[in-house]
Structure 1
Amino acid sequence: MTASPAAAALTARAQEVSTEIVGDILALVRQETGSYDLPGLAAGLDLLRELAVRRLGQPDHEHRHPGGECGDTLTMTYTGSGTGAGHVLLVGHYDTVWPTGTLAGWEQPQASDDGREKLGGPGIFDMKTGLAQGIWALKLARESGAPVPTVTFLFNGDEEIGSLSSRPVIEEAAQKADVTLVLEPTAHGAVKTARKGTGIFQVTATGVEAHAGLAPQDGASAITALSEFVVAAAKVAAPDRGTTINTGLFRGGSAINVVAGQATAGVDIRVGSQAEQDRVDAELDAIEVSDPRVRIEIAHDWNRPPMTLNAASAPLLDLAREVAREQGRGELPDAAVGGASDANFVAALGLPVLCGMGAVGDGAHAQGEFIYPDTVPAQTALVAGLLGRLTQPLRG
């Protein structure tokens, strides 16, 4: 498909500056920002702000929201040009799952079998590439000379651990904007229009301690009971309905010769619908263990609601596809994925949102995490082109 002249100029300009965009990506990757490393997160956010100011100038409004035990959340607003009243929120997290020190032992990935270059590093795919591309997208949209909407960047440092402090900031910012674009990585080039809801449950078993040799009959093992619960919980999963249940953490006991009085388990749950969420809640609560002396307590923490392509988001997807066609990309695919993101919060409010506007690559949360640098110009141009079409509030 042949690109329109304006779209062709935009993509050509993105190609011209691709080395600079990749340079900014690598600068962000070199500053490690593990979710639990507060000094690293602070330095990473300072660097991210510096890059934004270098490329876009000082924002018209900004606020740094303290994260407490999590990384801070920064909002930076750049007022649009022209007479349009459009307001776009660009969301991206700068924290990663990788602990500080990971970078030193990271090996760069080999090129693809077809010789295609890859770039690796902790967080490069999820999602520091998207952060840099988002900043450059606004820069390129401005340079094109066409009107641009007001753009608010929201950078949060706690997405990988549930957006514990940033969720209310995200929801408030989304309600003030017309549309939200989340700069998470793509699904092999596809935007993400559906994501599973996530539950992070803590299950606690409280039993009765006793000497394991002298009076084992007096004890009620929390470990044994919790093991029974975990096995029963796994049977509540329904992969055919998109529901998965994984016990990823298990701790308990005080000594090898003591019947365990306490045990805890951390359970990750993924669901594709509210109905499945309700079913899982009910069936987990109904699980019984064999020793009635052990008390099982479940902390139901549904961290993110399921995300679907709501009525408000469908026109935004149509517009993104139109921009892609104008840029000569052909049909822009969309995908449903198992992971959750901050887009889940926005979709649950019934607001227009597209996720997966960032990197093309693979290996999120894995040592092989990488991007294809040859996709950086096109992805940046896609967001830039979409910004240029959002100078007026989106109409469904």
Structure 2
Amino acid sequence: MPQVNAKILPNTAALPMRALLAGARRKQSQLIDLTRSLVLAESPSDDKAAVDACADLAAAHATSLGGRVKRHRQRAHGDILELRFGPRKPANRILLLGHLDTVWPLGTLKTMPCRVADDPAGNTRLWGPGTLDMKVGVAMAFTAIEMLSEASLLTAKDAPEIILLLNSEEEIGSPVSRPITEKLAQECSAVYVLEPAQGLAYKTARKGTGNWRLTVHGLASHAGVDFTRGRSAILELGRQIEKISAWTDLDKGITLNVGEIGGGTKSNVVPAEAWAEIDLRTVRRADGPRFEKRFAALKPTPKSGCTLSLEGGINRPPMERTRGTVKLMRKAQALAAQLDWNLTEASTGGASDGNFTSALGIPTLDGMGAVGEGAHATHESILIEHLAPRTALLAVMLTS
């Protein structure tokens, strides 16, 4: 890669974007190979040994790049990796936020092999479970850091320290990594999230999420012999579902989805128990506490003879489009324009660990990973043509 004068480090506008792009293109095959290695290390969230094996690969690669590795060991979940690059006592720090776990069970590679092949439209893709969400994002981060290191940009006087945090259970709500994420974010001036792009866009806003399990307890009886004695939990659950679904307010970006239900034992038995899993999405932070109160205030229909029990709550606050995030976005757009790339921004109903850091007031830019499609689906893949430009932009964003 062409050498870059470290004296121009603080002025990102002066960094040679086209030279960085050329360097990223030269490293593209290496980036794909690293992604493939991470994908082949299948790492479902609920398999600690598998996630830890993938973390071993990431930790070894970080060490090869001169990174300082701290492993936050966990009992029930995979270990969390905190990888630091650059000066130990910098004036500034930037957090790169990613995760190593996927939604795919062990053995998925047998039916979804990791391979490079063209799609029906002739676009070359890397296919496989966890490619897009989000092992390629991790590989992009390592490649960007390697490019900066080779150009001596991590040893410059004013270089920031880069913290690459790789969580192990993001796909199941980040139950143990959240406090680590929040603590490290508070050391940093900006957070860059390695989740996939929204189309081609970076993400400047995400909805918040909540999850509840509502269980209705009724009274079983014989549906033919003693029907009136029974108290149908399924019937009462239906009433509760109607009530909860009516809270949806599309104009305010609020949705409630009953995604799973169950209950009963036999068709000739009045059901004694029924349950539902409910998903909440909100746009504003204030909506979370309000809905927690609404769920807590749920009561059974009068004269139903049933009782209710409830588990769950708000999982992630919304990532709101703050002034700090907009400032980061504007800088990214100006740099992308040097590559004749019209970088746009988007919001999404999905959540990430960036929701946590944004809620703390730390400027957070999301969707800085790969371009592709099929996250959590059998056609999961990334478009290879976008890897180099997005890696080059990530690299230059890390230098301020």
TM-score (norm 1): 0.89
Query: 1:172–1:282: structure 2 CA closer, same or farther, 3 Å change rule?
Result: closer
Which of 124, 133, 141 in structure 1 is aligned with 2:131? 124
1:192: how far off?
0.6
- Number of the residue aligned with 2:335: 323
Structure 1: where are the runs of 5+ without partners? 391-396
Asked if the contact 1:236–1:280 (Cα under 8 Å) also holds between the matched residues in 2, the reply is: no
- Number of the residue aligned with 2:279: 268
- Number of the residue aligned with 2:143: 136
Q: What per-residue deviation string (whole Å, max 9, x for no partner) do you get for residues 207-229 of structure 1?
A: 12333343232221212211221
- Number of the residue aligned with 1:155: 166
Which has the higher mean CA deviation after the structures are superposed, 233-242 or 280-289?
A: 280-289
Q: Where do residues 21-60 of structure 1 align in structure 2 (5 Å cutoff)?
A: 21-54=31-64, 56-57=65-66, 59-60=67-68
Which of 293, 302, 306 in structure 2 is aligned with 1:294? 306
- Number of the residue aligned with 1:100: 106
Which of 233, 237, 241 in structure 2 is aligned with 1:222? 233
Asked if the contact 1:281–1:300 (Cα under 8 Å) also holds between the matched residues in 2, the reply is: no
1:275: how far off?
4.6
- Structure 2 counterpart of 1:167, one-letter code: R
- Structure 1 counterpart of 2:352, one-letter code: S
Which has the higher mean CA deviation after the structures are superposed, 373-382 or 342-351?
A: 373-382
Asked if the contact 2:15–2:396 (Cα under 8 Å) also holds between the matched residues in 1, the reply is: no
Q: What per-residue deviation string (whole Å, max 9, x for no partner) do you get for residues 137-185 of structure 1?
A: 1111121233342111111111111001111110001011221111111
State how far apart, in whole Å, the 2-side matches of 1:111 and 1:242 are. Answer: 37
- Number of the residue aligned with 2:326: 314
1:300: how far off?
4.5
State how far apart, in whole Å, the 2-side matches of 1:16 and 1:4 are. Answer: 22
Asked if the contact 1:91–1:153 (Cα under 8 Å) also holds between the matched residues in 2, the reply is: yes
1:303: how far off?
0.3
Which has the higher mean CA deviation after the structures are superposed, 186-195 or 112-121?
A: 112-121
Query: 1:228–1:382: structure 2 CA closer, same or farther, 3 Å change rule?
Result: same
Asked if the contact 1:220–1:291 (Cα under 8 Å) also holds between the matched residues in 2, the reply is: no
1:261: how far off?
2.2
Query: 1:109–1:246: structure 2 CA closer, same or farther, 3 Å change rule?
Result: farther
SS where residue 74 of structure 1 aligns? Answer: strand
State how far apart, in whole Å, the 2-side matches of 1:10 and 1:226 are. Answer: 58
Q: What per-residue deviation string (whole Å, max 9, x for no partner) do you get for residues 266-304 of structure 1?
A: 111111123544554455545653643111233351100
Query: 1:199–1:5: structure 2 CA closer, same or farther, 3 Å change rule?
Result: closer
State how far apart, in whole Å, the 1-side matches of 2:251 and 2:378 are. Answer: 29
SS where residue 346 of structure 2 aligns? Answer: strand
1:34: how far off?
1.1
Q: Where do residues 60-99 of structure 1 align in structure 2 (5 Å cutoff)?
A: 60=68, 62-80=69-87, 85-99=91-105
Q: Where do residues 315-354 of structure 1 align in structure 2 (5 Å cutoff)?
A: 315-326=327-338, 328-354=339-365
Structure 2: where are the runs of 5+ without partners? 1-12
Q: What per-residue deviation string (whole Å, max 9, x for no partner) do you get for residues 174-210 of structure 1?
A: 0112211111111122111100000111111111233
Percent identity of equivalent pairs:
36
- Structure 2 counterpart of 1:120, one-letter code: W
- Number of the residue aligned with 2:27: 17
1:382 maps onto 2:393 in alignment: yes
State how far apart, in whole Å, the 1-side matches of 2:282 and 2:241 are. Answer: 18
Which of 364, 370, 378 in structure 2 is aligned with 1:359? 370
State how far apart, in whole Å, the 1-side matches of 2:229 and 2:169 are. Answer: 44
- Structure 2 counterpart of 1:199, one-letter code: G
1:19: how far off?
0.2
Asked if the contact 2:165–2:181 (Cα under 8 Å) also holds between the matched residues in 1, the reply is: yes
SS where residue 274 of structure 1 aligns? Answer: coil
Which has the higher mean CA deviation after the structures are superposed, 146-155 or 279-288?
A: 279-288
- Structure 2 counterpart of 1:13, one-letter code: G
Count of residue pairs the alignment pairs up: 382
Query: 1:165–1:221: structure 2 CA closer, same or farther, 3 Å change rule?
Result: same
- Structure 2 counterpart of 1:153, one-letter code: L
1:381: how far off?
0.8
Which of 185, 188, 210 in structure 2 is aligned with 1:177? 188
Asked if the contact 1:79–1:150 (Cα under 8 Å) also holds between the matched residues in 2, the reply is: yes
1:10: how far off?
1.2
